[in-house]
Amino acid sequence: MAKYLSLQDSRAQRQKLMQLYIKQIPVEGRPLLAGDHTNWPRPDAVTLLQEDL
């Protein structure tokens, strides 16, 4: 039973992740939402901040 509980504890908490994403959306101006499905590296791209939950 302890193994299953530890696996469940290691899953990302969707609600906390969503709150983190929402905090990083600018509130002024129009947000620019874009997706890129290519495998080309984009080292200068703006990304979400690296934060621990």
pLDDT in tens, 23-33: 888 788 887 77
The residue type of 16 is K
Which pTM was predicted? 0.37
Q: Given 3-state DSSP classes, what are the helix, strand and coil percentages for the chain, each rounded to the nearest 5?
A: 35, 0, 65
Per-residue pLDDT of the chain (53 residues; tens, 9 = 90+): 677 777 777 777 888 888 998 888 878 888 777 777 777 887 887 777 766 54
Burial of 20 (0-12, 13-18, 19+ CB in 10 A): middle
pLDDT value of position 53: 47
* Cβ atoms of residues 31 and 25 within 8 Å: yes
